[in-house]
Amino acid sequence: MGDILPNEKAIVQRISNGDETAFETFVTHYGPQLEQAVFRAVKSNLPVRDIMQDVFLSIWIAREKLENLESPRTWLFRMAYYRSYTWLRKQAVRDRAHTYLEGTLVETNTVEEHSTFEETRKFVQEAIEQLPPRTKMIYSLSRDQHLPIDEIARRLNLSPQTIKNTLTNALKSIRNHLEENGILLPAAVLCIALQ
């Protein structure tokens, strides 16, 4: 499925202490592996980025647990399979999801972590609602309809760079809104939306 992050223990220790640069290294290394695993599980491109973002957000929220894990990579993939299973179940294909994921599901979130995760999602949605109309539309085309930057640019008769700049500004606004509400979120989590 992929290789283990070099110096994983040291990087994980830094993440557990809140080091965003180490977290970005973790996301950059495991992101492509996770994307493939989630796609194999759900058999659809549509939810892959959402699932990945949820998984990495959950890891950041529960980062202090990382240093006590024997295999952070295994924990990461178990979380991804659990989120994939949840998505499949919501899509009314529970039987197929059970076949794909049987034996790999581990509930990783405590009630407190789940509450923090839901609160963060609520603030993200609030921030999206506060975006200027054009920015909100571009963000929606990228995030909700999963259109690539070039396709959005073509549809709106704008340059790809304009679309990229707009998305970058949207993510900054979302992150600022989260920070105003006491939630510090690494840029790596939000940037999954631009991939």
- Output 97-105 pairs: Cβ under 8 A, ≥24 positions apart: 97/41, 100/40, 100/41, 101/41, 104/77, 104/78, 105/78, 105/81
**pLDDT (average), residues 137-146:** 81
Q: Which CATH architecture has domain 1-109?
A: Orthogonal Bundle (1.10)
Which tops the pLDDT comparison, 154 or 172? Answer: 154
The domain made up of 111-195 has a fold known as Arc Repressor Mutant, subunit A (1.10.10)
Note the pTM of the prediction, 2 decimals: 0.55
- Taking the C-alpha atoms of residue 34 and residue 37, their distance in angstroms, rounded to an integer, is 5
- Tell me phi and psi for residue 174, to 5 degrees: -65, -45
Does position 113 have pLDDT exceeding 60, yes or no? no
**pLDDT (average), residues 43-59:** 85
Which tops the pLDDT comparison, 117 or 51? Answer: 51
**pLDDT (average), residues 111-139:** 77
Does position 118 have pLDDT exceeding 80, yes or no? no
